[in-house]
A = this chain, B = another copy of it.
């Protein structure tokens, strides 16, 4: 029988991990629960950066070097919007990417839930996985930062913090606005309950995996699932492999170490944890927290290296199960 694997994924890291996972177990039945806390309305259009990064990466349309957006992209629409004085200019939407957001916005306007829209978009991209948004309800991750124009603080959309401000100012809190009232999208809880293995890729533990877990019912479903839950550390050698995960970890009071992230998830949630070979020292600390741990190479340098990581995660899951 096909192995049923559920993956909680953010954007670039999650998408690249999934490509390796597909390569490692091409016959597996993979369901991806995608983060939608990064979603943003720009120019009246609904943009779902993480879902699109997964879809484009697995569907062969991604800008490989950049990790997000479309290959062979042009920017005529963006130039024109700037000529009209309509911003923001800091979010780089290309012409090909715009078409995705136009189709999505039109379908949502016609009454389709995001999960149905995502399924429709995937009919073109054929990502080889079932891609589900974590929720059909609107959740928007906001970041509390110092307000340069006052003595106080202000909340900005995660994309503004990440893309415009390059996470260069301290984040005091990360708030997934709307999460408390959100319901898991159709199929999310069912996929978790039916999974043979649940994986947390080396995605951002706060604003990617953490946001998915913040949708009521998801954390509980993962924690109580029959399947082993195995994560891969996004922190290697006390620094994020990519992105600025350390900035948002600080906001939730978690050290930027492979062991601290494992403890942040906790033994109540994850059963196994992979750290990089440079963090071999952390294995004992993680295991003492009740989480089975192994150190293996965790740099996703290419699909083959990533496939080996995925295979190691699945092997650790089997070890936990046994």
A residues neighboring B (CB under 8 Å): 43-45, 73-74, 76-81, 83-86, 94-96, 98-100, 102-103, 105-106, 109-110, 121, 123-124
Contact = CB atoms under 8 A, between A and B. Distances in A.
Nearest to A74: B76
A73 to B, nearest CB: 8
A17 B304 CA distance: 64
A61 to B, nearest CB: 9
A interface SS class: helix
A84 B121 contact: yes
Given A83-B99, A84-B121, 15 more contacts: A43-B106, A44-B102, A44-B106, A73-B76, A74-B76, A74-B95, A76-B76, A79-B99, A81-B99, A81-B102, A84-B100, A84-B103, A85-B123, A86-B103, A98-B102
Contacts of A121: 84
B83 A95 contact: no
A230 to B, nearest CB: 35
A66 to B, nearest CB: 17
Contacts of A85: 123-124
A109 B98 CA distance: 18
Contact of A95 (B77, B84, B103, B110): B77
A305 to B, nearest CB: 31
A119 to B, nearest CB: 13
9 contacts: A44-B102, A44-B106, A81-B99, A81-B102, A81-B103, A83-B124, A86-B106, A95-B95, A98-B102
State the copy count for this chain. Answer: 2
A77 B80 CA distance: 14
A78 B85 CA distance: 23
A106 B110 CA distance: 16
Contacts of A73: 76
Contacts of A84: 99-100, 103, 121, 124
Contact of A80 (B76, B100, B109): B100
Contacts of A79: 96, 99
Given A43-B106, A86-B106, A106-B44, A99 B76 contact: yes
A44 B99 CA distance: 11
A122 B83 CA distance: 12
Contacts of A95: 74, 76-77, 80, 95
- For the complex of A and B, the 3 pairs showing the least CB-CB separation, nearest first, are A80-B99, A44-B106, A76-B95
Contacts of A81: 99, 102-103
Contacts of A77: 77, 95-96, 98-99, 102
Contacts of A98: 77, 80, 98, 102
A44 B84 CA distance: 20
